[in-house]
Every structure is written in C-alpha cells, then in structure tokens.
Amino acid sequence: MNRQGHVGLAILAGSAVLYVTPVMPMVPAAVLISAAGIGGLLPDLDHKTSTVSNKLQFSARTRKQLKGLSGLSVGIGILWFILQQPMPWLWLAGGLVLALASRLRMLLLSGLGLLFIAGYELYGLHWLTLLAGVAMLVMPFVKHRGIIHSPEFAAVLSVGVVSFTATQPVLFQALGLGLLAGWWSHLAGDAVTVEGIRSVLMPRLKVALNILRNGSTAERWIARCCWVSSIALWLITFY
Ligand SMILES: [Zn+2]
C-alpha cells in the first residue's frame, strides 16, 4: 500500500479508537487522529525511499550529486597528499561530510537511536525508549517489510506504549493510542497486498492476501472511503 491508502486507513483506525474510548476533549482527540496518520506511515521507515524516509533525506538526484562530489573531494585529497600539497585532510574531511550528507537518513536514524538508547541507559527512562532506540538504530540496515513490519514488533511496541502512557496525562495517552492505531492499520494495509507481512519468529507464517495492488485505483478508492467513514465517525462521536 502507498501513502494515500495508509493514511486513509490510519485515520479511520484512529477514528474508530476515538469512537470506542470514553469521550475526550477536542485537543487530545485531534492529537489522537493526527498521531494515527503519522503512525500509519512510520513502519515504512524501513524502506529506503518511502514517503516518511524521504522526509529524512535529500532527493535521489541530490544524493547522487553529493556522492559524486564526495568521491571527487576524496580523490583530490589523495592526490594532494601524494603531491605533498598543503592540507590534503581538508579535502578528505569535506569528502566525508558530503558522504554523510548523502546518507542523511541513516545518520539521523542512527543518531536518534543512539540518543534514545543513551537516554535509557543514563536516565533510566522507560524501556520503550530502549525499544525505539534500537529500532531506529537498526532501521537503515534491516530489510523492508522485515522485523519492523512484523506483528511481533507491533505487539512489543503496543505493550511498551500502553505501559508507558498509562501513567501519563491524557494528551500522551491520546498520542500513544493514535500511534498504535496507525501502526496496526499499516500492517493490515500491507497484509492485503502481494508482498504481505510475515512473522519474525515463524517466517513461514505470512499474510499476503493479494487483494490490492500498490498504488492502484482500488487503493485510492479505499482511501477515499476511509476518509468519508472517518468523518461520519467523528460526527457520531461528537454530536
Ligand atoms: Zn509498509
């Protein structure tokens, strides 16, 4: 499923959660719905060029140019070194910075991941911090629709989010519930495509219903229906 389908489905899942939970004030309700929309895109952080990954990196063209410039800079650095010209390190360092910029997604994810893990270690934060940190750290290296798309990860994440937000103000609970609703709806959306999703503990256990083609007209219609149903649910919830 692509962005449109995932967002539609996630908003509907969030609206359904909102409908079954006790009445919430407008602000947490809006937070819940928005968090669901974001949660519905987050699992695709494990895809190099998904909508959400593209938010963390330069365009494919710029990435290619950065890589080219990085190679060029390193090349000049080596040449400068051999020719004993002044400051070859400057060129090598420049090359490194350009190479890192071309891998901004990896840099951001691993950096944030390490920060979360450090927060858990140093300040004894909730184990959800450790889970999120490790997930972000491995994200650039795991395969798409692998562990991050597994029901097991979603289950552990759910336990983490629920146990963490249980003691927090209602705004955080709304955020957590929304994220989880979006996350699970993402798995449901992927399960009806050819690629499907699979269990990490039992790799033979795979759900690939092959009902929907990625980015098809049917997906766009499902997205529209989801939005209409969501709005209907909001009206029922609030009036
Ligand atoms: Zn996905």
pLDDT of 58 above 80: yes
Quick one: what percent of the chain has pLDDT higher than 90? 74
User: 114 alpha carbon to ligand 1 midpoint, in Å?
Assistant: 24
* Domain spans, the chain: 3-47+144-238, 58-102
Q: Which residue has the tokens 């840099």?
A: 107
pLDDT of residue 218: 86
pLDDT of residue 180: 97
User: 142 alpha carbon to ligand 1 midpoint, in Å?
Assistant: 13
CA dist., res. 173 & res. 180, Å (int)? 11
Distance of CA 162 to the CA centre of its chain: 19
Per-residue confidence band for 7, with pLDDT thresholds at 50, 70 and 90: very high
User: 180 alpha carbon to ligand 1 midpoint, in Å?
Assistant: 14
Pick from 203, 164, 156, 222: which is nearest to 8 by CA?
Answer: 222
User: 92 alpha carbon to ligand 1 midpoint, in Å?
Assistant: 38
User: 4 alpha carbon to ligand 1 midpoint, in Å?
Assistant: 12
3-state secondary structure of 211: coil
pLDDT of residue 182: 97
| pTM of the predicted protein model | 0.88
Residue by residue, DSSP assigns 150-210 as SHHHHHHHHHHHHHHHTTS-HHHHHHHHHHHHHHHHHHHHHHTBSS-EE-SSSTT-EE---
CA distances (Å), 227 to each of 14, 22, 32, 33, 234, in order? Answer: 11, 22, 15, 12, 11
User: 230 alpha carbon to ligand 1 midpoint, in Å?
Assistant: 21
pLDDT in tens, 78-135: 999 999 988 899 999 999 999 999 999 999 999 999 999 999 999 989 999 999 999 9
